[in-house]
A and B are shown apart, each in its own frame.
Chain A
Amino acid sequence: MSGNPYQDDRGNKDATITNPSGRGEIEVSTGTGHGSHTAEAFLIGDSMTGGYGKSGPDILHDCTVAVNKGEIAVIVGPNGAGKSTAMKATFGMLNLRQGSVRLDGEDITGLTPQARVVKGMGFVPQTHNIFTSMSVQENLEMGAFIRTDNFKTTMEQVFDLFPILRDKRNQPAGELSGGQRQQVAVGRALMTQPKVLLLDEPTAGVSPIVMDELFDRIIEVARTGISILMVEQNARQALEIADKGYVLVQGANAHTGTGKGLLADEEVRKSFLGG
């Protein structure tokens, strides 16, 4: 149980994914030293400090992640480092004590998650990332909830990418296997046709062949001008396709560089990529 006195574990979903009432107390700060390579980035979570709940300990310490237009940025790091927390912070789901989030030059630190969706951000959380009682097709439709145009073709594209989903389009997503669910989750986010896509471990539990497909697709998506910020534990494959890589350790930036650069770094390989 978190420190929240109003909450009860039983029957509750992860209460930390969202912050429905919008914001807590935020002090907007302009860059603190990491500005050099993030200055013109499309999405920046700049010098973020904060944690869960109103009074929980800080998980992030002056942490910065950013991605340029049409590029892929990958966050790696040990379990519990705060990768997911950084993603949630960027999406406005927890109270930042310090730092700011900017999208395309605009400060969006004060926006609710829904408002960020409207601004063109898409997110696939690490867990609880599908509507289990709804059919696969309805899951995808919900991904396109804010779209007013016809999304039939996008859906076809998703089905082409993950053929198994086409077969199971009318099955409740909760009945799918672990890897199939993951495909639904990514499919849902793709339906949004966002400007920037945040993916928290999209390949966890998917088979090698699907993982390759997925990475391929991510590259294609990025090439259409959409920025991708993702957390990955299949770090070597991910860093290979990454334009930029961040290594987070204990809520702070430990290493930053190009994907190739990090892959080449002996220390990074050994401590975080499994040798």
Chain B
Amino acid sequence: MDFLNALVALTNFVIIPATAYGSQLALGALGVTLIYGILRFSNFAHGDTMAFGAMVTILVTWAFQKMGVSIAPLPTALLALPFGIAATAALVIGTDRAVYRFYREKKAAPVTLVIVSMGVMFVMNGLVRFIIGVDDQRFGDGARFIISARDFKEMTGLREGLAIKTSAGLTIITAVIVVAALFWFLNKTRTGKSMRAYSDNEDLALLSGINPERVVMVTWLIVAALATIAGTLYGLDKSFKPFTYFQLLLPIFASAIVGGLGNPLGAIAGGFLIAYSEVAVTYAWKKVLTYSLPESFAPEGLAQLLSTDYKHAVSFVILIIVLLFKPTGLFKGKSV
């Protein structure tokens, strides 16, 4: 019987990773949800926008590292972020001018825009691979851990370790700040309200003197910032590889949708729901049970509900169940 070790094991292998992963998903989902909320289509190019933003940030980070600029113990990449954001903003606004605006003016059906965004996705996809290649790229520096498993064990004398990565900590803090800021911006500021008005009824927004092009521009700016931040933090925590950013798209969409499209709070709730269901449902409780139960009750098997092969399937099952009870997501999202 050792509740403390059980608790630490659970924290280390379920709570911390799921929270970090959930925040990563939430940051990505925020961008998706914002585009859906304001511009009213599901942007398939978002994963690749994240990859692009992260890529620029990486290139600038490398330059800084060469020059010896650093803000240790924080990663240098944070310093490079503004450049990444600027470049990404230029890219997405350029894309909007060249591609999306045409369909907006034609008032094309949302599904057309979805397919168009897939075209954009392919192009960006090629662009990123073209510039930085297909391989893993490392760019993290600074202190890797806030607290590492080994240090924790030494400090506490427990048998189980507890590790918190700098990148994970950064991600969680950023996600909370960004969600709060976005919520405040959309609901309390004039520009934010005008964006919501535009998303609600474009024509009436026009009649109220709201400039649609400005709304669109601001939206893309925020999206570029979100995508770059999300992409960079994700890259710091895991690694940068163009292909994974495309793969990230599905859980991101799942988060945005199950949270309720168009709602920033929904994005974070959705992110956590997906992350926790992936990590927790397939968790093998053996260790935790062994610690917390009297010896004679200690489990023989893994005490695992389902094997990890099914982690995505399980998270989707949970998602579907949630939707059955809340048909427009946890936070009453929009639907086109």
Chain A residues at the B interface, C-beta cutoff of 8 Å: 4, 6-8, 10-15, 17-18, 20-21, 91, 113-114, 117-118, 122-123, 125, 128-134, 138, 141-143, 145-146, 188, 192
Contact = CB atoms under 8 A, between A and B. Distances in A.
Interface in B32-70: none
A6 B206 contact: no
The listed residue with most B CB atoms (<10 A of its CB), out of A11, A125, A188, is: A11
The 7 lowest CB-CB distance pairs between A and B, nearest first, are A6-B106, A8-B109, A146-B209, A117-B209, A17-B203, A131-B200, A18-B203
B92 to A, nearest CB: 20
A5 to B, nearest CB: 9
A125 B203 contact: yes
A131 B334 CA distance: 13
B296 to A, nearest CB: 58
A208 to B, nearest CB: 27
Contacts of A11: 109-111, 336
A2 to B, nearest CB: 10
A185 to B, nearest CB: 9
B197 A117 contact: no
A133 B199 CA distance: 9
B197 A142 contact: yes
A134 B105 contact: no
Interface of B: 103-112, 190, 193-194, 196-197, 199-212, 334, 336
Contacts, number: 99
Contacts of A4: 106-107
Contact of B108 (A7, A17, A133): A7
Nearest to B40: A11
A117 B208 contact: yes
B202 A142 contact: no
Contacts of A123: 207
A171 to B, nearest CB: 14
A138 to B, nearest CB: 6
A118 B209 contact: yes
The listed residue with most A CB atoms (<10 A of its CB), out of B103, B190, B193, B206, is: B206
A22 B210 CA distance: 14
7 contacts: A6-B107, A7-B106, A12-B107, A20-B212, A117-B207, A138-B193, A145-B209
A129 B208 CA distance: 11
Given A132-B200, A142-B193, A114 B106 contact: no
B194 A142 contact: yes
Contacts of B336: 11
B217 to A, nearest CB: 14
Contacts of A142: 193-194, 197, 205, 208, 210
B105 A20 contact: yes
B108 A8 contact: yes
Given A117-B207, A138-B193, A145-B194, A18 B202 contact: yes
A231 to B, nearest CB: 16
